[in-house]
Amino acid sequence: MYAAIVFLPLLGSAIAGLFGRVIGSRPSELVTTALLFVSAALSCYAFYDVTVLGHGAILRIMPWITSGDFEADWTIRVDTLTAVMLVVVTSVSSLVHLYSIGYMQEDTSRPRFFSYLSLFTFAMLMLVTSNNFLQMFFGWEGVGLASYLLIGFWYERPSANAAAMKAFVVNRIGDFGFALGIFGVFFIFHSLDFDTVFRAAPAMAGHTFQFGSWQVDTLTTLCLLLFVGAMGKSAQIGLHTWLPDAMEGPTPVSALIHAATMVTAGVFLVCRCSPMFEYAPHALEFVTFIGATTAFFAATVGLFQNDIKRVIAYSTCSQLGYMFAAAGVSAYGNAMFHLFTHAFFKALLFLSAGAVIHSLHHEQDMRKMGGLAKYLPFTWAMMLIGNLALTGVGIPVLGIGTSGFYSKDGIINAAFLSGAGMGQYAFWLTLIAAGLTAFYSWRQFLMTFHGPYRPEQHQNLSHAGHSAHSHDEPAAGDDHGHHGPVKLSEVHESPMVMLIPLAVLAAGALFAGFAFDHAFIGIDAGGFWRTSLGAVTGHHGAEAEVPMWVELAPIVLTILGFGIAFYYYVLHPDLPPKMAAKKGVLYTFLYNKWYFDEIYDFLIVRPSMWLGRTLWKIGDGKIIDGLGPDGVAARVLDVTREAVRIQSGYVYHYALAMLAGALALITWFMVAGGAL
């Protein structure tokens, strides 16, 4: 069963990729989608089998690498942590496959697209079922490769190629740290097997090694290196710049990458390695700092974005920060719970946004939308549910609410209960981020579905920082290319094959938190997680100790954020354009995403390009080609060419040369003899 869960998506990818042109687009879609649904059904049963019946398993597929004392088998590890990820990955991926049948119906490269989707899912399943660091790295890089292919799916467009390359390069920076961490783990523990390393980790607590003149903690170093990989894959501040540009891919790709797969891999890594992180408190503090800072940073950037997909992308970045903040205060159950619920409502938001984009002939600028609730009532309801879940709407006194209410508020509470220091830093930043999230989420909703329809507004506006993204979606051969403003009479709901996934995800967004709260972070957490996490109990289980003002603060800020958005975008919609036109310092700073791209361009990109040109022009051209082997060879040819000219074949030329030589010798002897 477990092997089928993992390899069925690979089978689908191979069929669509190798035989797609032979069997056609429709069979490719149906085969890959059907196999994903079978994998999802088996994953649900595996979840029940592992979490309820307690039947975890380690399945050895085949020997992989044997070199001296080093051994690494291809093994499938299924415990509670894996079971949760199996449900998340396969369920969202199968729904994205189904949605894509409608969304990509006019694209001429559908077999290739569905092959990439299934390959992406296989790589992610390899990652989450790994039983050693090397196999995890294999899945890790497979996900990176598949994301490169999907983001750059419309490779005819330079912007898509640039976005794919950016994602690939930034992730390789993180993966370099991850690889160093794996090397270090093998050097210290002489094994890459999870159980072996985790059993030995407590004995390494407090051990140090010499680095220059410093004594450096061993476990802290290993955990930080592993976390660098997580920062890249999960788009944490500093290595986040690839995530918004990933919107260049088709909208289903955005849902798959941002909701349930690639970006959650970093959170999974930290939770899987929690037996190590628990004995590296300084590393946990760094994780907390990065997570909380990212949650706040991304929320501030999302305030003034106008591309409907980019708003949701920065929301993803912010929510990932919440997950890392939870892991940093040892609330790993909270981190995984938010990962679980986030998959449903974030996929719902992306696919709902895709339905809007599809209905407007691929228009993505929210400033050109408005008044769509009447024409897209089902999509309106779905995005409403997604927003309610994202902003964590609920009633704290009664303890009932949407999925985000249980998982996100649980993280805020866990950060508060963790005590002083970095935990309090995380508490305040995640709390503030909750209010900011409410504002930009409802701003997006109100600009899209309410107020007057504005198809002509900002028609000639240049989008600062990303002008190429105003019409991201049209693919080669797509009849939906945007050739002018769309009339409201032309706006209609998407086909049923796109709406059914929205309804399923909406159910998860509403009820997943209520259904699993007790298992993930409640009184049953110990029996649920068993030994798959380094710390099952802790701060997150002490809800009774949370002061009432802490429980009420998130919902108060959520209501405040909604109120401000309603004031500006419903009651006084004329105010935001006027405020934006003033281009205040704060607005400009946030609109340009804290100038991270510009800073990196100045500090890294331009110096690298200058160095490359210098090495090319001077190093290669003048030194190597001029003075090196190529230069010596050229000078030999020059001398030979001149020497050949002397070989004329005429006797008098040779006689003249002999006479000149004789005169030179006589002159030399006379001068030398005279000197002596």
Closest residue by Cα to residue 188 from 226, 140, 135, 214: 226
Structure tokens at 146: 């598949």
More confident: 164 or 481: 164
pLDDT of 569 > 60? The answer is yes
Q: Is 342 left (phi over 0), alpha (psi -120 to 50) or beta?
A: alpha
Question: For residue 133, which amino acid is it?
Answer: F
Rg, the chain, Cα only = 31
Between CA 164 and CA 161 the distance in angstroms is 5
pLDDT of 631 > 70? The answer is no
* Cβ within 8 Å of residue 655, ≥6 positions away: none
Predicted local distance difference test score (pLDDT) of residue 646: 65
Structure tokens at 237: 């501040």
Strand 394-395 to 214-217 pairing = unpaired
Q: Please give the helix or strand (H or E) that residue 215 lies within, else none.
A: strand 214-217
Predicted local distance difference test score (pLDDT) of residue 80: 93
Q: What is the pLDDT of residues 577-587, one digit of tens each?
A: 888 888 888 88
Q: What is the pLDDT of residues 396-424, one digit of tens each?
A: 888 899 999 999 999 999 999 988 789 99
CA distances from 202 to 196, 275, 279, 532, 635 (A): 12, 8, 7, 16, 67
Closest residue by Cα to residue 389 from 506, 279, 241, 542: 506
* Cβ within 8 Å of residue 623, ≥6 positions away: none
Q: What is the pLDDT of residues 43-56, one digit of tens each?
A: 999 999 999 888 88
Q: What is the pLDDT of residues 94-128, one digit of tens each?
A: 999 999 998 888 888 889 999 999 999 999 999 99
Closest residue by Cα to residue 114 from 103, 128, 125: 103
Closest residue by Cα to residue 501 from 88, 159, 120, 94: 94
Q: What pTM was computed for the model?
A: 0.86
How many beta carbons lie within 10 A of that of residue 363, not counting itself? 21
Q: What string of DSSP letters covers 564-603?
A: HHHIIIII-TTHHHHHHHHT-HHHHHHHTGGGHHHHHIII
DSSP 111: H
Q: What is the pLDDT of residues 503-513, one digit of tens each?
A: 999 999 999 99
pLDDT (mean) for 302-318: 90
Predicted local distance difference test score (pLDDT) of residue 259: 65
Provide, rounded to the nearest whole percent, the portion of the chain with pLDDT above 70: 89
Q: Could you tell me the pLDDT band of residue 463, with boundaries at 50, 70 and 90?
A: very low
Q: What share of the chain is helix, strand, coil (3-state, %, to 5)?
A: 75, 5, 20
Q: What is the pLDDT of residues 420-461, one digit of tens each?
A: 789 999 999 999 999 999 999 999 999 999 988 887 765 544
Between CA 506 and CA 461 the distance in angstroms is 35
State the chain's mean pLDDT as an integer: 85
Beta strands, E only, 32-141: 57-67, 70-78
Structure tokens at 141: 């890089």
Predicted local distance difference test score (pLDDT) of residue 327: 93
